[in-house]
Amino acid sequence: MKKVKSSSLVKTLVVSSNHLIVRILQHYLVKDQKRNYALTIENNASIAVKLSLKNDYDLIFIGAECDGGGTNVFLEKIHLQDKETEVLYCPIIYLHSGNDFQQSLEALHQGAQISLQVEELSSEILHLNIAKILQVHELYKQNYQMTQELQRSNEELNHFSYAVSHDLRAPMRKIKSFAEILSDYWEDKLPQNEKEYLQRIEDSAQKSMDMMQGLLSYAQVSMQNKIHRWINLEEVINQVLVNLSLPIEESSAQVLLKDLAVDVFGDDIKLQQLFQNLLENSLKYAPKDKKPEIVIELSYPNNDCVQISVADNGMGFSASEGEYIFDLFQRLPSGIERSAGQGVGLAICKRIVENMDGKILVESMPGKGTTFYIQFYHFQKKDNP
């Protein structure tokens, strides 16, 4: 449907068995100097549904009275079509007579955008509401199209990232291998500075390979289809603790779980990856003079979400550093020890949480530890045994 302009043709469907409503509409629409209306009039709701699906109508009027199941049948089926296509099918104006406000509210709830009382209708009121509803619908469509284009662009970017990171690893491995061969072969014949050059080539090739692997992992998270179900959060975190049992034991870390009785709607494998990344960071960045302490706790900031916090007593970081901590390939600059990773883990965490329509936040202070907050909006509380 093209944007409605002056003197444009507006394909309009009128669904009503009330002849008075039909005549009033015909009378007022003729007076509209900005638009010409091509009217299709149908008194049967079931037939009108079929017409609306076959024709690209710009506007639909539906009266409180119509045959073939009535207004409810028409609005329910059109509303179902909206859900299937994920886009507003066509703007609908509901017309009623008398003071039946309950029926008007039901029509608005079922998908009509505007409700007008016929007895109070005038040419000016009708034309004003038509202009408003067409403008809003056009903005809605533009927003939907932009969202679809952005989604396609993101998908293409993810495929590109996957292809680049996958295909470039093979030549980079060769560069590293040939550098190692040269280094071994000329070990006793090259001066020290040239040996250092070869070592830099090896190190740079390895770093590039690590970054490509990180990019590949990030792209895989983005490209995978959502297969979500209800997941027992406590079982997921207990499995993560089993996976990390060796580094937890080696570091003498203490991990405390507090009331994790909740189910969240998501992917159990990705949830494991999320919490395993966070716990690995807590273990990796623990101060040398302290035993790692990690507390995982459940809370409800409001009725709309459940929040899981992962707090540690690690080195922490400043607020300025935290501004970009979830960005891809970003690492904390403070201290050599903190540069061990490739800056991909937390970016993956953020993408996993966003794929579950959630949020991830962080609070930290240098020397005081770090707390990550994961918020999910699709959850089911569980009663404690």
In a domain, 252, yes or no: yes
User: Same structural domain for residues 184 and 244?
Assistant: no
User: Same structural domain for residues 25 and 51?
Assistant: yes
In a domain, 3, yes or no: no
In a domain, 116, yes or no: yes
What lies within 8 Å, CB to CB, of 264 at 6+ separation is: 230, 231, 233, 271, 306, 356, 376, 378, 379, 380
In a domain, 163, yes or no: no
CATH classification at residue 309: 3.30.565.10
In a domain, 199, yes or no: yes
Listed residues 194, 223, 252: the one ending a domain: 223
What tokens does 164 get?
């680049």
User: Same structural domain for residues 233 and 212?
Assistant: no
What tokens does 342 get?
């490739």
Q: Is residue 13 helix, strand or coil? A: strand
Q: Which residues of the chain have pLDDT under 70?
A: 1-7, 68-69, 79-89, 99-100, 153-169, 211-226, 329-342, 383-385
pLDDT at 234: 93
Give the amino acid at 184: D
Residue 202, H or E segment = helix 192-223
Number of domains in the chain: 3
Distance CA 348, CA 360 (A): 11
User: Same structural domain for residues 137 and 273?
Assistant: no
CATH classification at residue 88: 3.40.50.2300
- Judge residue 41's burial from the number of C-beta atoms within 10 Å of its C-beta, 0-12 exposed, 13-18 middle, 19 or more buried: middle
User: Same structural domain for residues 209 and 283?
Assistant: no
The domain of 185 spans 168-223
User: Same structural domain for residues 321 and 237?
Assistant: yes
User: Same structural domain for residues 201 and 327?
Assistant: no
User: Same structural domain for residues 259 and 277?
Assistant: yes
Listed residues 83, 113, 146: the one ending a domain: 146
Cβ distance 118 to 20 under 8 Å?
Answer: yes
Compute the Cα dihedral for 197, 200, 206, 211 and give only its sign: negative
What tokens does 289 get?
């003079």
Q: For 314, list phi and psi in degrees, rounded to 5.
A: -75, -165
pLDDT at 385: 52
User: Same structural domain for residues 299 and 348?
Assistant: yes
DSSP 118: G
User: Same structural domain for residues 12 and 116?
Assistant: yes
User: Same structural domain for residues 300 and 334?
Assistant: yes
In a domain, 322, yes or no: yes
Q: Is residue 104 helix, strand or coil? A: helix
pLDDT at 233: 93
In a domain, 211, yes or no: yes
Listed residues 205, 223, 241: the one ending a domain: 223
In a domain, 373, yes or no: yes
pTM over 0.95: no
Over residues 76-111, the pLDDT tens digits come to 777 655 444 444 568 899 888 776 677 788 888 877
Cβ distance 275 to 234 under 8 Å?
Answer: no
pLDDT at 374: 95
pLDDT at 215: 64
User: Same structural domain for residues 270 and 363?
Assistant: yes
